Structure 1
Amino acid sequence: MKKILFIVDDLGKGGAEKITLELAHTLAKSKNLVTLAVLNSSKNTLIVDPSIEYIDLNIDSKFAFGKLWKFKELTKKEQQIFSSLINKRNFDLIIIGFHNGYYLGKYLTQKENIWYWIHGDLLEIRNFNNPLKRIKEHIRFFKNKRKFSKLFKGKNLITVNRDLEEKAKIHAQPNKTTTIANGIELPKDLINRSKSTIKNWDVIFVGRLVPIKQVDHAIKAFAMSNICGKMAIVGDGSERKKLEELSKELGIADRVDFLGWVDDPRELMLQSKCLVMSSLYEGSPVTLAEAIALGIPVISYDSSAGITDLFTLDTAKFGLVPKQNIRALSSALEKCVQNPYKYNQECIDKVCMDNMQKKILQLCD
């Protein structure tokens, strides 16, 4: 039995928050003493099981929710509260998660077995056609790279895919690094219903409607195909209005259902023949892991190791297409709807929460 502490900004709608809570639940069910502390609970949407000790540190929102690269420091009062709630414990493992929580590391009196969990690319370079914007982007990247090094130099880092691990080694000179892909655990009755559930949509997208997800690529690919059925867009974000206008311009507005944010999209995933992923980059997408566990074939850009590593050689030839190739994405979607492929046991084992739990517990040794 281990005493484990997770620190995360909040328990909101993101994949990092969701996987943290599910991992904490799994560890608690295995008779470990699990504590989960959030910086600020005002954005919480997820429910914490009573088997987990839950702590709201009630840190000011400017610290808890501001941009990662802005310098953050606790007030004296917040330091006292943090110390009284956290530093008087003797944890076997402390995992500081995504992403403003990283700044709390310096306030921990415990120095052993502290790991920083990196869920996504903190050093991405965005592409712009405008020359001035490209210059500003490189300046931004240079500043972020320096802060990344200061924040993680000499630290122990958990990354969710091999790409992030290699980037961290180059830019941060960490003490230790390890890659642990996200795992999931789904109810057996949900998995058993995957074949019998009526399919209301041919294609489904699940995720935030933001630029990096490139949902416009998925909509264009659907429009280019000879698929006659409907497409579901599950999620919300800054790009929603643009995407709704795009579906009208392409003449498929009557076949694209924008369903908004759904707390548990797995039921909708079961009602779909395949799931599409069109992101410019992904860390270790929970939606992909859920689709594999449910037996729902995925068509995705081969955009990162976080996606590639969850496929096997036999499934990759059906499910992965060259990144940024909308025509290839469209062709693969059409083939998948007509003839869905199946996952083998190796693929299913890769997304198993038990495997993730074993790797996390090994960090205590």
Structure 2
Amino acid sequence: MKTIRCNFVDLWENPLEIGWIAPLLSEYDLVIDEKNPDYLFYSCFGNKHLQYNNCIKIFLCGENILPDFNLCDYALSLSTIDYADRTFRIRIPNFYEYEQLKRHLDADTLLNRRFCNFVYRNSNADPIRVRFFQELSKYKKVDSASSLMNNMEGPVSLPTNDDLMDFQRQYKFTIAMENSSFPGYITEKILHPFLAMSLPIYWGAPNISSDYNPNSFVNIMDYSSVEEAIEEVIRLDNDDAAYLEKMNTPFWNGDSFESFQQSETERLLAFYRHIFEQPKENAFRRTSDGWMGVYTRDMQEKNIEPTFARLIKKNYKSCVRMVCKKVILFRLKIKK
């Protein structure tokens, strides 16, 4: 097993638990080297990555942020950008962590559930999220379990993905809306209700049907208005046969979920092999020549604290004495 000397910065959780990193452990021995890694994995939640220059930099991001290929050599992201051998499109975030798809609810159970749920905290999203919730609530109560538009006597505790899916499994429908509409920006918000066997009502990426079977969910963007999309939800709620047909339509591409999951995992590992199996000196893609060097240095300088601020942190008392001394000398000079 080949050893990869690497480091992880600016990420959102324990790196070895991230779905796009965990499969690496089956083929590589990851050794953490915080000072001189050969490979640096980083995301958009900080700027520590700017302190690293002499390593292969790999950007990981599940947000609606485009990779900056001036700063990274390779990128795994939701973006549909295709840039030579430097990009990997994450089609279904976090699906690697699910060992198998559990589709075990019978027809009676599927039909005799609560109506619809809405689980969101973020109010800094496209207004359609709240508007759709409010309009659909005019038909039947939509249970809002988190802090945004909560109507369940306080937020329900859903600390893990499994807890969330257990909650969604109690409902016929789940409102599955991204924070914004952005090509490729397809997150776990639609995957979780699929796995929970709750029919997603989706809004977000305009290319959603390229990743998921369009017959397996309600796509709000297929309709001319919010009201028209709600009419379709109401139709499905009252037409058992039509609802069950959608519920029984596989959302993935391929013969089985397991084979689809295996092919996606192999696609991910092939991208990593391309990076790690070539000599390190050949794996660099970014450059510091010409104006690119100016751009990189400018980005680094903007994230370096002023010398005086660093001195204060290092030796507060000495800095205070130095400032006081200068003030006293200045006043004496004025008196003279």
TM-score (norm 1): 0.55
Gaps of 5+ in 2: 275-336
Hey, what's the Cα distance between the residues in 2 that align with 1:335 and 1:109? 59
Hey, what's the Cα distance between the residues in 1 that align with 2:232 and 2:7? 40
Task: Tell whether 2:115 aligns with 1:202.
Answer: yes
Q: Trace 1:1-365 onto structure 2 (pairs within 5 A).
A: 1=1, 3=3, 5=6, 7-11=8-12, 21-28=18-25, 30=26, 32-34=28-30, 82-83=34-35, 87=36, 94-100=40-46, 103-104=48-49, 106-111=51-56, 114-122=57-65, 152=70, 155-162=73-80, 165=81, 176-181=86-91, 182-184=93-95, 185-186=97-98, 188=100, 191-195=102-106, 200-212=113-125, 214=127, 215-225=129-139, 227=140, 230-236=141-147, 240=148, 243-244=149-150, 258-259=155-156, 261-263=158-160, 264-279=163-178, 280-281=180-181, 283-301=185-203, 303-305=205-207, 307-315=208-216, 318-322=218-222, 325-338=225-238, 339-340=243-244, 341-342=246-247, 343-344=249-250, 346=253, 349=257, 353-363=261-271, 364-365=273-274
1:236-277 deviations in whole A, cap 9, x for unaligned?
4xxx3xx35xxxxxxxx58x9853553230111111112112
Kindly state the Cα deviation for residue 296 of structure 1 after the two structures are TM-superposed: 2.7
Hey, what's the Cα distance between the residues in 2 that align with 1:231 and 1:178? 37
Q: How many residues align?
A: 254
Say whether the 8 Å CA contact 2:190–2:202 is kept in structure 1.
no
Distance 1:115 1:299, change over 3 A: same
Please state whether the residue corresponding to 1:321 is helix, strand or coil.
helix
Kindly state the Cα deviation for residue 298 of structure 1 after the two structures are TM-superposed: 1.1
1:293-347 deviations in whole A, cap 9, x for unaligned?
3433211125433x3332224336x445348932133223223333241332527
1:121-175 deviations in whole A, cap 9, x for unaligned?
237xxxxxxxxxxxxxxxxxxxxxxxx75x735632222142xx26xx6xxxx98
Please state whether the residue corresponding to 1:212 is helix, strand or coil.
coil
Larger radius of gyration: 2
Please state whether the residue corresponding to 1:82 is helix, strand or coil.
coil
Give the aligned CA root-mean-square deviation in angstroms. Answer: 4.0
Distance 1:106 1:231, change over 3 A: same
Kindly state the Cα deviation for residue 8 of structure 1 after the two structures are TM-superposed: 4.7
Hey, what's the Cα distance between the residues in 1 that align with 2:130 and 2:165? 22
